[in-house]
Amino acid sequence: MGVVVIVLAAGYGAAAGLLLPRAAYRLSVAPGTPWRHSCPQGHRLRGWLGPARCRPPRPEPAPPGPGYAYGPGYAHGPEPAVPGPGPAAPGPVHAYGPRALLPAALTGAVCALIAAAVGVRPEAAAYAALAPLLVLLALVDRAVHRLPDVLTLPLAAGAAALLGIAALLPGSAGSWRLALLGGGALGAAYLVLHLINPAGMGLGDVKLALSLGVALGWYGWGVWASGAFLGLLYGALYGLTLLLRGSATRDQGFAFGPFMAVGALTGVLLGGFGA
């Protein structure tokens, strides 16, 4: 049963990850800039979900030339005796954003790990449902160092709502009250860090901390502290590595959201195995 659940979770995550590249491209813009509505070649994008591939629209067929012949009695009629030019073929498909393999692999792996650690308990479905949105946030943050409100705020609300539903179902192994307290506590902690060093900790990180704190607080304060600390540790180690390699300066920022997410995932896995 456990293997089946893991395989199903991995398949769900991979399928959901395949839908993320277009949204990642459209949301990866600087603050104050409208979301992207067209590909780099100027073709309008339809929808938010799907691969980052664009097929140009089919151009209009060329009008009949001067030598175009109509049948008898059709000097200006619609029925040609000689076939005219057919509809023009659409242009070649071109890529404009991240490849689908990376988000599919990431989301599939995250969901499989959650299923392996949490098992068939109700909170596993809640965590798996939130995983694609978290991966999308990581892609956007890595691309433009930004965590947009249109993702962070629904993620926080969704984490609280889904775990609240899980708490009502039999077999759950956490506490919704602690989850809500954990979200408020981690958000407050990151707000303090933002006030101390606004250049190093953005408000997007503060809003992301709300949802991650909810996910970690579900399993208690020990898991909450572990996940919060590991997120800071992962980010600090990455920044130190960049400094030692000479790839960045002390004042240069980097995307911290992915490390917060990985730290929270580690904490949830520890909590799931412990429960």
Amino acid at position 40, single letter: P
Spatial distance between the Cα atoms of 161 and 28, rounded to a whole number of angstroms = 27
User: 153: closest CA among 104, 99, 207?
Assistant: 207
List the chain domain ranges: 2-18+100-274
Show the beta-strand stretches assigned E in the chain: 53-54, 94-95
pTM: 0.83
Task: Encode the chain (275 residues) as per-residue pLDDT tens digits.
Answer: 588 999 999 999 999 999 999 999 999 998 888 999 988 888 888 889 988 888 766 665 555 555 444 445 444 445 454 454 545 455 577 777 778 888 999 999 999 999 999 989 999 999 999 999 999 999 999 999 999 999 999 999 999 999 999 999 999 989 999 999 999 999 999 999 999 988 878 899 999 999 999 999 999 999 999 999 999 999 999 988 888 887 666 666 778 999 999 999 999 999 988 86
N- to C-terminal Cα separation, the chain: 18
Give CA–CA dist 239/37, Å, rounded. Answer: 34
3-state secondary structure (DSSP) of residue 94: strand
Tokens of 266: 């580690």
